[in-house]
């Protein structure tokens, strides 16, 4: 028995408090690390958005100053402001690409050095050390590459790192981004038609929503009955559980498809018969316009040296329009630049090499988020150089964007324009021909033919008769 004092409280008893679990400390630490990494990713995406809007803002600012040359309210909009904006975007984009994103990856993967006290600061120390080692490795590799190509520049870079080495490194990063845009944009321009077709409601001649909706409803009911049958059974095997999880996932997919089809079936006749053809015509016009502008730029490269992309220090805004068609041409340039950026993102995530990076709702880990931020930053920071190299705009590159070494090489710029025009034309022709053939086969009901029957051997009279019966 423990003695009690006069107040009835036990004497000599020790108060016990619940000790914090080690797992809770670990979860709090991981949550803090993930929060910091997400902040860095948010900053990187903000820089990427600013890089995309650099050229549109510069072009529109010039047109505003041309329209209101003596306006008191437009005095703040000048060349020094735009030039400073370009320098800031260049600085933060390279800072995010070279330091912040690698640090975010190492920070999330680190656990602290062996024998050190665990915590967030231990992870910071390990991430900083790994980042320094990576920086030394990259510096050594690029210095060796510069020594093999330009021995004099390599010697100077040892004494003046900021003046010689960093522009060389930035030039290599920009060249990689521009080459990535060259591969993704033509493919994305062709994919834009199919992506837009999935978002819009097609005319009844090209798509029978009611038929597809009924088939999807039957499939959903069948999966629902199978799930109820498995849940009612007394079998607890692991294979049954795996089969049930796969079937539940398939059921949710079919259910989402059915809901989307129901919403598409409620579309108005104007949206069904006018929206889809108009959107396809707008996409086709923008794509053809891009190809024609690139072809015209190729001719200018052969005839005029001024068509080469170059940098400038003072933009001289408000002096003259950067398009021969005035404000209308400048607006078209802005639309084309944004359209090329959207197409490059679509092509990037549609390519087989980068399909695994596509973010999925509530199923994307932090490493994948960091990889997406890096990819979008590379694409967006290369967009101004990409647009000026192709001749989409005549606005010359400002600040350090115009200091890239390869911009003055005529053969690289000329070959780049030819490859873009050729790849885009080939992708467009293939997409249009295959899309027309696929929609005609689906509209005439020939997609229901058995696989043993070759659709290319279907007589033209049968195709015409099937089409006439559909129209009637």
The Cα 309–Cα 356 span in angstroms is 35
Tell me: pLDDT of 104 over 50. yes
Tokens of 442: 């689906």
Spatial separation of the C-alpha atoms in residues 77 and 35, rounded to whole Å? 37
For residue 280 the two structure tokens come to: 């396809």
pLDDT value of position 469: 46
Q: Is 422 a residue whose pLDDT tops 50?
A: yes
Structure tokens at 216: 């999807």
Report d(CA 414, CA 263) in Å as an integer: 48
Asked if residues 417 and 390 have their Cβ atoms less than 8 Å apart, the reply is yes
Query: What's the full length of the chain, in residues?
Result: 472
Sign of CA dihedral 172, 173, 174, 179: positive
Please give the average per-residue pLDDT across 350-366, as a whole number: 83
* Whether the Cβ atoms of residue 392 and residue 296 lie closer than 8 Å to each other: no
Residue 127 above 70 pLDDT? yes
Q: What is the DSSP string of 400-465?
A: GGGG-GGGG-HHHHHHHHHHHHHHHHHHHHHHHHHHHHHHHHHHTTGGGS-TTS-GGGS-HHHHHH
Highest mean pLDDT of the ranges 55-59, 356-360, 453-457 = 55-59
Q: Assess contact for 386 and 178: CB atoms under 8 A.
A: yes
**189: nearest Cα among 391, 65, 351:** 351
Average pLDDT score over residue span 312-317: 67
Please state, in angstroms and rounded to a whole number, the distance separating the CA atoms of residues 431 and 313.
42
Of the candidates 401, 290, 381, 334, the residue with the CA atom closest to the CA atom of residue 60 = 334
What is the per-residue pLDDT for 203? 66
pLDDT over 90 (residue 339):
yes
| Residues 109, 321: Cα–Cα separation, whole Å | 50
466 pLDDT exceeds 80? no
Judged against a pLDDT cut of 80, whether residue 426 lies above it is answered with: yes
* Secondary structure (DSSP) of 91-124: HHHHHIIIIIHHHHHHHHH----TTSPPSHHHHH
Locate 464 and state its tokens: 């015409």
Name the token pair of 264. 């598409």
From the list 170, 418, 127, the residue with the least C-alpha distance to 311 is 170
DSSP secondary structure of 179-202: HHHHHHHHHHHHHHHHHHHHHSPP
Q: Which residues, at least 6 apart from 105, have a Cβ–Cβ distance to it below 8 Å?
A: 367, 370
Q: Over 90: is that where the pLDDT of 279 sits? A: no
DSSP string, 259-297: HHHHHHHT--HHIIIIIHHHHHHHHHHHHHHHHHHHHHH
> Looking at the predicted structure, is the pLDDT value of residue 199 above 70?
yes
First-residue to last-residue Cα distance in the chain: 100
Residue 341: Cβ within 10 Å count: 24
Q: How far is the C-alpha of 132 from the C-alpha of 343, rounded, in Å?
A: 36
What is residue 38's predicted lDDT score, i.e. its pLDDT?
92
- Give the pLDDT confidence score for residue 48 in this predicted structure: 92
Q: What percent of the chain has pLDDT over 90?
A: 9
Identify the bridge partners of residue 311 per DSSP, sorted by sequence position.
397
Confidence band for 463, pLDDT divided at 50, 70 and 90: very low
Q: State the pLDDT at residue 207.
A: 57
Q: Which residue has the higher pLDDT, 446 or 70?
A: 70
pTM for the structure as a whole: 0.75
Residues in Cβ contact with 324 at an 8 Å cutoff, skipping those fewer than 6 apart: none
Burial 400-409 (b: 16+ CB within 10 A, else e): bbbebbbbee
């Amino acid at each position: 028995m423990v003695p009690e004092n006069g107040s009835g409280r036990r004497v000599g008893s020790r108060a016990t408090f619940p000790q914090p679990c080690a797992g809770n400390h670990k979860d709090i630490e991981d949550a803090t690390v993930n929060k910091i990494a997400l902040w860095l990713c948010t900053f990187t995406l903000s820089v990427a958005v600013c890089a995309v809007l650099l050229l549109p803002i510069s072009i529109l600012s010039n047109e505003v100053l041309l329209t209101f040359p003596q306006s008191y309210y437009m005095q703040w909009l000048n060349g020094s402001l735009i030039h400073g904006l370009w320098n800031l975007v260049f600085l933060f984009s390279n800072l995010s690409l070279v330091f912040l994103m690698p640090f975010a990856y190492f920070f999330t993967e680190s656990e602290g050095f062996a024998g050190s006290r665990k915590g967030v600061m231990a992870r910071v120390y390990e991430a900083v050390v790994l980042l320094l080692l990576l920086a030394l490795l990259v510096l050594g590799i690029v210095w060796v590459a510069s020594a093999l190509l330009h021995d004099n520049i390599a010697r100077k870079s040892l004494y003046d790192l900021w003046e010689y080495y960093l522009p060389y490194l930035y030039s290599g990063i920009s060249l990689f981004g521009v080459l990535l845009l060259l591969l993704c944009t033509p493919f994305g321009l062709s994919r834009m038609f199919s992506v837009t077709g999935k978002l819009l409601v097609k005319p009844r001649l090209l798509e029978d929503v009611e038929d597809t909706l009924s088939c999807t409803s039957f499939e959903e009911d069948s999966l629902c009955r199978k799930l109820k049958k498995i849940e009612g059974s007394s079998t607890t095997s692991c294979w049954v559980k795996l089969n049930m999880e796969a079937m539940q996932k398939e059921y949710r997919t079919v259910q989402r498809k059915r809901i989307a089809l129901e919403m598409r079936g409620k579309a108005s006749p104007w949206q069904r018969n006018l929206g889809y053809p108009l959107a396809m015509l707008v996409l086709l016009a923008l794509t053809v316009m891009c190809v024609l502008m690139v072809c015209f730029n190729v001719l200018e490269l052969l005839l005029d040296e001024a068509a080469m992309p170059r940098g400038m220090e003072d933009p001289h805004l408000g002096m003259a329009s950067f398009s021969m068609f005035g404000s209308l041409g400048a607006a078209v340039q802005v639309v084309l630049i944004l359209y090329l950026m959207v197409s490059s993102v679509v092509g990037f995530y549609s390519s087989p090499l980068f399909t695994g990076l596509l973010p999925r709702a509530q199923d994307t880990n932090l490493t994948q988020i960091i990889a997406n931020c890096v990819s979008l930053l590379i694409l967006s920071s290369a967009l101004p150089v990409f647009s000026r190299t192709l001749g989409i705009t005549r606005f010359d590159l400002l600040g350090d964007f115009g200091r890239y070494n390869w911009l003055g090489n005529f053969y690289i710029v000329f070959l780049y324009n030819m490859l873009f025009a050729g790849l885009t034309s080939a992708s467009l022709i293939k997409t249009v021909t295959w899309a027309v053939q696929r929609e005609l086969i689906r509209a005439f009901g020939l997609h229901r033919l058995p696989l043993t029957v070759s659709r290319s051997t279907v007589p033209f009279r049968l195709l015409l008769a099937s089409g006439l019966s559909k129209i009637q």
